[in-house]
Structure 1
């Protein structure tokens, strides 16, 4: 290969940022401006209903063939993911945008509900049917499910943005945009402190 051809080849390859190969994102994340507009329409609540039970939100349902929601998101958010006949991920690479870590074992990755199921219950899902709660818990249309480092997801638990934020401050904007979009689509409420935290995060966009 001539030097000029080699230079053109290198140029073509380096034109694609390496991080783009591993940083996948959930669908339908709005812009910061759109999220700010959406947030303004969300109702503010002053009390939370009791009675939450995770089993009230049937999750990791079968999506296609033998693939459940978890395996579907692992394949969507990973790079070079290989799946076994039962759809479990046997290899691949996953970038966790919450903390910037990269993993090569699916066991090191959790699928986070951006708006936790418990928070959804407190925000209005307590009045939904089981079918609606199942749709919410397995929502692949909106930015509600994302593959992240397992212990980071566990540290988040069911906390809203006033109590927990991603370790990477550079992800504040995207995280807030995802959170607001999910609450907007599902007509869920926010607490005053949650609204303030989201506003602050959206101001970093």
Structure 2
């Protein structure tokens, strides 16, 4: 299975300054990139292969290496925290020492990075059972650290843990007003990475896109 778009071109290395211990301000409500319009998401959804999940007992999280170093001492998690936060200040190890983070899944705002998880929109296990089992480890690593597509989100830790590895037919964000954005992002990731969806997953996504 090939990734439909291998333009992880210049993972914006220039965007992430190596100057640490500075304030990094992101606009309130900053979010993951590449979210398609509802119309485009519906087109993508219609093109996805519907199939039953496979290799459900062979998943191992270690097969998806995280977190990569992105710039200087900043890894993927820290990069997303800076991207999605407001007034974020980091120390010499790129750990966030202050700032605030709005969690779009539940509408909560946090001022401690320890209260924020980085959610994989399409969970790693879900990716595994919908096609990633056949990928190389390098490709799974790229998926797990994808900053180009709407795959990584800074959200409330308990909400992320509640979601776990569930697909939209089994879990939806607490804010019903976020169903539209959530479903568009989920479909985009599945489309870009050529992953399959189950029949129940497609039904749930169709319903969520109807809220757009």
Q: Same fold (TM over 0.5)?
A: yes
TM superposition shift of 1:21: 4.3
Q: Which moved more, 1:43-52 or 1:57-66?
A: 43-52
User: Partner of 2:156 in structure 1?
Assistant: 149
User: Partner of 1:17 in structure 2?
Assistant: none
User: Partner of 1:112 in structure 2?
Assistant: 119
* Matched position secondary structure for 2:30: coil
For residues 50-129 of structure 1, the aligned pairs below 5 Å read 50-129=57-136
Highest Rg: 1 or 2?
Answer: 1
The ranges of structure 1 where at least 4 consecutive aligned residues each deviate by more than 4 angstroms after the TM superposition are none
Structure 1 gap ranges (5+): 1-19
User: Partner of 1:177 in structure 2?
Assistant: 184
Aligned residue-pair number: 186
Q: Distance in 2 between matches of 1:21 and 1:87?
A: 20
Asked whether the 8 Å contact 2:45–2:202 carries over to 1, the reply is yes
User: Partner of 1:38 in structure 2?
Assistant: 44
Asked whether the 8 Å contact 1:22–1:93 carries over to 2, the reply is no
TM superposition shift of 1:46: 1.8
Structure 2 gap ranges (5+): 1-25
Over the aligned positions, Cα root-mean-square deviation in angstroms equals 0.9
Q: Distance in 1 between matches of 2:201 and 2:153?
A: 21
Asked whether the 8 Å contact 2:53–2:130 carries over to 1, the reply is no
> When you count helix as a share of all residues, which structure comes out higher?
1
Q: Distance in 1 between matches of 2:101 and 2:142?
A: 25
